[in-house]
Structure 1
Amino acid sequence: MDIQEYTRDTFDTKVFFTEYWRKKPLYVRGAAADFLGATWSVADFDAALACARAGGHNVLEREGEVTFIEDVSRFHEGLAAKTARFGALFGTPGTWFDTVRTHTPSGIGSHFDHSDNFVLQQQGTKEWRLASPGHIDRQDIARRMMEVPGVGAHPLPPEPEHQVCFTLEPGDLLYIPLMWLHSGVSHADSLSLSLVCPAVSLQTAVVPFLTQVLKHRMTGHQPIPAFHAGLSSEQREAVAAGLHKATRALIERMSDEAVLEAVTALQREHLTAADHQQAGGE
C-alpha cells in the first residue's frame, strides 16, 4: 500500500473527519503533543502504575518485557480531564486512555478493536502493521461489537500488499480506525499512550433507552402467570399460548410512534449532546 495515502504533515480536524475517520489510518509525524495538549513521561506512567496496583486494578504484565494499563485515565487527573473533551470531539461516550511500556522488543499480538484508537508515541520506537477489516469474518466483527468474550485476536494477512506499515518515533501520532487489524512491536524501551474511542452498537443505543421508556410508561407491567406444578399439560400449554400472545402485543407496542419519539429523545440527550456538536466544529 502507498504510505502517502495515510500520511499528512498536520492533524487537521476538518480534513480528518472528511477523509480518515472510520475509513483509513492516518500517520502524522510529531503531532502527538499538540493533539494531547501534554506529554506522558515514565514518571507519569510509574505513578499511575502504583495507583492502579494499590487499587487492585488488573495490570497486564510480562515482567521485564511489557506492562499495559487499561483505562489509565482512572489514575491520572490530567488524562481524566481530557477524556470528556475527546469524547465530545469524536462523539464517543466513555472515551478513555490506555498506556503501554516495553523494555524489550515486544508487543501484544495482532488484533482488532471495537473502537477508534489514537496511538501517541512518547518514547522509543515502535513498528506498526495494519490491515483493513475486509480480512475479518463479518460474524467476528458482529461478535466484537457485542463484546463476546474471546473475540479480537486475529492474524494479519500474510501478503505485504495487504498491509500498511508505519514506524512511530517519539512524538508521532497514528490513528487506527474502528475494526482495523493492527500489531505494534517496539524496538526495545518504549512508552506510548493511546486514546480509545469506543464505538456504540445500535443495540446499546436503543435497548437501554427503550427499557427506560417502557418503565416510565409502565408498559408490560402485568404479572405473567406462574408455570406452577399444579398445572395440567393442557393448562400449561394454554398459559404458554397466552404468554406468547401477550409478548407479541408488547413487542408491537414497542414500535408505537410515541415510544420511538421518547427513545430518540433520550438518544439526543445522551448520544448527540450539543457540546459534542460544538467540539466537532472547533
Structure 2
Amino acid sequence: MDIEAPTALLGGLSPQAFMRRHWQKKPLLVRQAWAGATAPVSRSALFELAARDDVESRLIQQREDGWALRRGPLSRRALPPVSRPGWTLLVQGLDLHVPAAHELLSRFRFVPQARLDDLMISYATDGGGVGPHVDAYDVFLLQVQGRRRWRVGRVPHPQWVDGAPLKLLSNFEPETEWVLEPGDMLYLPPLWGHDGVAEGECMTCSVGFQAPAAAPLAHDMLQHMIDGLDTDVSERLYRDPHQPATDAPGRIPDALAAFAHDAVQRVLREPDALACALGESLTEPKPLVWFDAGTQLAPGVGVQLDPRSRMMYDARHVFINGESFRAGGRDASLMRRLADRQVLQATEVARLGEEARALLDEWACAGWLRPLAA
C-alpha cells in the first residue's frame, strides 16, 4: 500500500494525510468511498453465522417499554421477522469467517495491526438502530446495503440512560446529520456521539479498532512474563534460616518483603521480557477463535496467513498468535513481510533458512497459515 497516494476510500486523501488531519481528531464523511459497494455476506448467510457458537452476535430491539438486548448464539427462530421494524442484528468478527469481509478490513491496514480490531456488520430493519452512544475507539462506518441516517455530535460530558441494557447517552445533542447510501462512509474519532437509524432494510459495516487500557494490558503482559520465566527462577522458594522468634507475628518480615521485591525485579530484568510480553499479548487470539489443524507445506508453494491469525513484529522478534520468536537477517525481513502483507510468494519462501522454513511448517500444521492459492 502506498500511504502517500490519494485514495477514493478516504475522499481523495492519502492514508498519510488522513492520519495527520483526521485520525483521533475530527470526523470525515466520504461519499462513494467504495463505489459499487455490496454487502460482504447475504442476509440469510448472516443469520446462519449468528446461530453459531463461535461467532459473537447480539440482537437489539427498541420496544414501547424500552430497549432489549439478547446475546447469541441466535437461531433463526430467535430473530424477529424481517417485516417487523425496529430491530438490529450485530455480528462481530465477520472478517474471521467471510473472505470478502477480510478483504474489506485489509483495506484499512494503513493503521497499525496492533490497533486494528475487526469488522462488525449491522443488519437492521426499518427504524432499527442501537441508540445514541459513544465508542472508546475509532470507527469507520461503511454503508453496504440500503440507507442509514446518522446524527453526530460531540459529547463533552457523557451521561447515561439509567437501567438500559445498552450504554445509551441521555444528553446527546447532534450537531449534524447525514444519510449514507451504499458506498458512502463515515469516520468517527473516539468519544463522538452518534446515532444511526435504518431507513428501510439496511446493512452497515463497522471497521473497529482497539485501544488497550493500561491496567489490563499491564496485567496481561506480566502474566506472559511470568509464564516465560525459567523454572529455576519461577520455583525459587523463600528461605529464612536466620528468622528469630518474634513477639509481633502480624508484622511482615523485612526479609520476605525484600524477597518479593527481588522476585518482581527478576521478572523485569529478564532479557527482552517486556518486548516479548507486549507482542504476545497483542497477538493473542480472541476467546472465540480456534484453528483447524493443517498439514506441512508442499515444496515450492507460497503461504498466506489464516484470517484468524494475528502476526506482528518489533526490531528483534516476530510474534504470532501469542507466541514470540527471535528473528534476524534475511529470515527476519521475510517474516516481517509476511506480517505486513499476510502472504509470501513461493520464491520468497524458498529464500528462508532451514529453521524459519521449519517454523512455517509448524504454523501450517497448527492451521495458522495455509498454502497460497495459485
TM-score (norm: length of structure 2): 0.54
Aligned residue runs from structure 1 range 152-171, under 5 A: 153-155=167-169, 157-160=171-174, 163-171=175-183
Q: Which of 9, 13, 16 matches 2:15?
A: 13
Q: Which of 98, 120, 132 matches 2:142?
A: 120
| Number of positions where the alignment pairs a residue of Structure 1 with one of Structure 2 | 246
Q: Which of 222, 226, 231 matches 2:236?
A: 222
- Which residue pairs with 2:212 in the alignment? 200
Residues 149-192 of structure 1: per-residue CA shift (max 9 Å, x gap):
x99724164545xx343321221001122232222112222211
Tell me how far 1:265 sits from its aligned partner. Answer: 5.4
How far apart in 2 are the matches of 1:185 and 1:18?
30
How far apart in 2 are the matches of 1:60 and 1:251?
41
- Which residue pairs with 1:39 in the alignment? 38
Aligned residue runs from structure 1 range 76-95, under 5 A: 76-83=98-105, 86=108, 88-93=109-114, 95=117
Could you tell me which amino acid in structure 2 is paired with residue 14 of structure 1? Answer: Q
* 1:121–1:168 CA contact under 8 A, matched in 2: yes
Aligned residue for 2:224, secondary structure, equals helix
- Which residue pairs with 1:75 in the alignment? 97
CA shift in 2, pair 1:51/1:97, >3 Å: same
CA shift in 2, pair 1:133/1:251, >3 Å: farther
Tell me how far 1:277 sits from its aligned partner. Answer: 10
Tell me how far 1:81 sits from its aligned partner. Answer: 4.9
Q: Which of 253, 256, 275 matches 1:264?
A: 275
CA shift in 2, pair 1:278/1:99, >3 Å: closer
- Which residue pairs with 1:178 in the alignment? 190
State, as a whole percentage, how many aligned pairs show the same letter: 20
What RMSD over aligned residues (CA atoms) do the two structures have, in Å? 3.9
How far apart in 2 are the matches of 1:277 and 1:164?
40
Aligned residue for 1:188, secondary structure, equals strand
* 2:132–2:193 CA contact under 8 A, matched in 1: yes
Aligned residue for 2:23, secondary structure, equals coil
Could you tell me which amino acid in structure 1 is paired with residue 250 of structure 2? Answer: E
Q: Which of 247, 251, 260 matches 1:247?
A: 260
- Which residue pairs with 1:187 in the alignment? 199
If each structure's strand is expressed as a fraction of its own residues, which one has the higher value? 2
If each structure's helix is expressed as a fraction of its own residues, which one has the higher value? 1
* 1:125–1:187 CA contact under 8 A, matched in 2: yes
How far apart in 2 are the matches of 1:51 and 1:277?
28
Could you tell me which amino acid in structure 2 is paired with residue 189 of structure 1? Answer: E
How far apart in 1 are the matches of 2:151 and 2:338?
32
Q: Which of 134, 141, 153 matches 1:131?
A: 153
How far apart in 2 are the matches of 1:119 and 1:275?
29
- Which residue pairs with 1:4 in the alignment? none
CA shift in 2, pair 1:223/1:115, >3 Å: farther
Tell me how far 1:70 sits from its aligned partner. Answer: 2.0
Q: Which of 211, 214, 218 matches 2:223?
A: 211
Which has the higher mean CA deviation after the structures are superposed, 74-83 or 14-23?
A: 74-83
Could you tell me which amino acid in structure 1 is paired with residue 46 of structure 2? Answer: A
How far apart in 2 are the matches of 1:77 and 1:233?
68
Greater Rg over alpha carbons, structure: 2
Tell me how far 1:122 sits from its aligned partner. Answer: 1.6
How far apart in 1 are the matches of 2:313 and 2:133?
30
How far apart in 2 are the matches of 1:268 and 1:175?
28
How far apart in 2 are the matches of 1:264 and 1:125?
45
Tell me how far 1:240 sits from its aligned partner. Answer: 6.8
Could you tell me which amino acid in structure 2 is paired with residue 79 of structure 1? Answer: A
Tell me how far 1:272 sits from its aligned partner. Answer: 5.6
Give the unaligned 5+ runs of structure 2: 1-9, 62-79, 240-244, 283-311, 315-335, 342-374
Could you tell me which amino acid in structure 2 is paired with residue 246 of structure 1? Answer: F
The question of 1:101 aligning with 2:123 is answered yes
- Which residue pairs with 1:22 in the alignment? 24
Aligned residue for 1:99, secondary structure, equals strand
How far apart in 1 are the matches of 2:166 and 2:253?
40
Could you tell me which amino acid in structure 1 is paired with residue 38 of structure 2? Answer: T
Higher relative contact order (CA 8 A, sep 6+): 1
How far apart in 2 are the matches of 1:83 and 1:9?
17
Which has the higher mean CA deviation after the structures are superposed, 100-109 or 72-81?
A: 72-81
The question of 1:60 aligning with 2:58 is answered yes
Aligned residue for 1:50, secondary structure, equals helix
